[in-house]
Amino acid sequence: MARITAGVCTSHVPAIGAAVDLGKTEEDYWKPVFAGYEFSKAWIAEEKPDVIFLVYNDHASALDLRMVPTFAIGCADEFAPADEGWGARPVPAVKGCPDLAWHVAQSVIQDDFDLTIVNDMAVDHGLTVPLSLMFGQPEEWPCLVIPFAVNVVVYPPPSGQRCYNLGKAIRKAVDSFDREFNVQIWGTGGMSHQLQGKRAGLINQEFDNRFLERLVDDAEGLANMAPVEYLREAGSEGIELVMWLVARGALNADARELHRFYHVPASNTAVGHVIYENTV
Ligand code: DHB
Ligand code: FE
């Protein structure tokens, strides 16, 4: 059977992707950011996941106001990197896993979650920057990736509770997939940041660190936090953190934290990154 063996959560700042693509990772500004992923790169090279179920948000790259699915699952064979205004990132196309994606879709939809099935979708920095942070610059991404997009850009976003419960439904679906797949679930975005308006530049280190604490041993309680609280405490883009709750919901309550990293700032954002090993 397929198994979710680990969860990885990380920020997905576009400037991090540019630093990788333009060879700036050794510069003074960027070095401490990439240092936080050294452990992770060595770890994942050993873990060799077959499939990553990658929860991220599109930033009006493939989905815009014409169509705003709250949850969208990518069921295609391949997903090209999006052109976000400066040409597509020079990273490999993502190879999907249609068999598992369709299986998750049927299981989760019939467990009462409304997913939009997407078969043609370019993937933006929300998905490609986490891959770069974890895998560097390979010729091909070393595993299959199922893109799972959550709307946190157009009001209203889904609640943390719904995201957490969705994670549980995804877990159930993966557990019932009849292939020996080593699956990881990733949650991306966050931590605190606000890109516009009077509070642009907001970072709340206290909130972020408390979030990291509670995600380990009080995920159920953390899931109760209302969307407006993210907005108030973590800024308008801090709501991206609900995607970490999808990943957390797919893991056991006693999943073990293997790695934690927090750094301020990268571009306008507080960077957070955790790895959880699932208990089986
Ligand atoms: C930044 C962060 C994001 O999460 C994003 O989607 C876009 C920009 C930033 O810090 O610049
Ligand atoms: Fe973002």
Segment 233-253, tens digit of pLDDT: 999 999 999 999 999 999 999
Residue identifier of the C-alpha nearest atom 9 of ligand 1:
268
The pLDDT value recorded for residue 78 is 98
To the query of whether residue 12 is one of the catalytic residues in this protein, the response is no
Say if residue 265's pLDDT is above 90: yes
Residue 261 CA to ligand 1 center (angstroms) comes to: 18
d(CA 109, CA 227) in angstroms, rounded, equals 23
d(CA 238, CA 125) in angstroms, rounded, equals 16
CA distances (Å), 29 to each of 24, 35, 65, 143, 277, in order?
9, 11, 35, 30, 30
The pLDDT value recorded for residue 247 is 98
Ligand 1 binding residues, C-beta < 6 A? 12-15, 59, 189, 193, 195, 237, 267-269
Which one from 193, 259, 263, 273 is the annotated catalytic residue? 193
The pLDDT value recorded for residue 133 is 98
What integer best gives the mean pLDDT of the chain?
98
pLDDT above 70 coverage of the chain, percent: 100
Omega before residue 156 within 30° of 0, cis? yes
CB distance 167 to 185 below 8 Å: yes
The pLDDT value recorded for residue 37 is 98
The pLDDT value recorded for residue 222 is 98
Which one from 103, 125, 259, 263 is the annotated catalytic residue? 125
Say if residue 280's pLDDT is above 80: no
The 10s digit of each residue's pLDDT in 69-83 is 999 999 999 999 999
CB distance 104 to 2 below 8 Å: no
The pLDDT value recorded for residue 249 is 98
Residue 72 CA to ligand 2 center (angstroms) comes to: 16
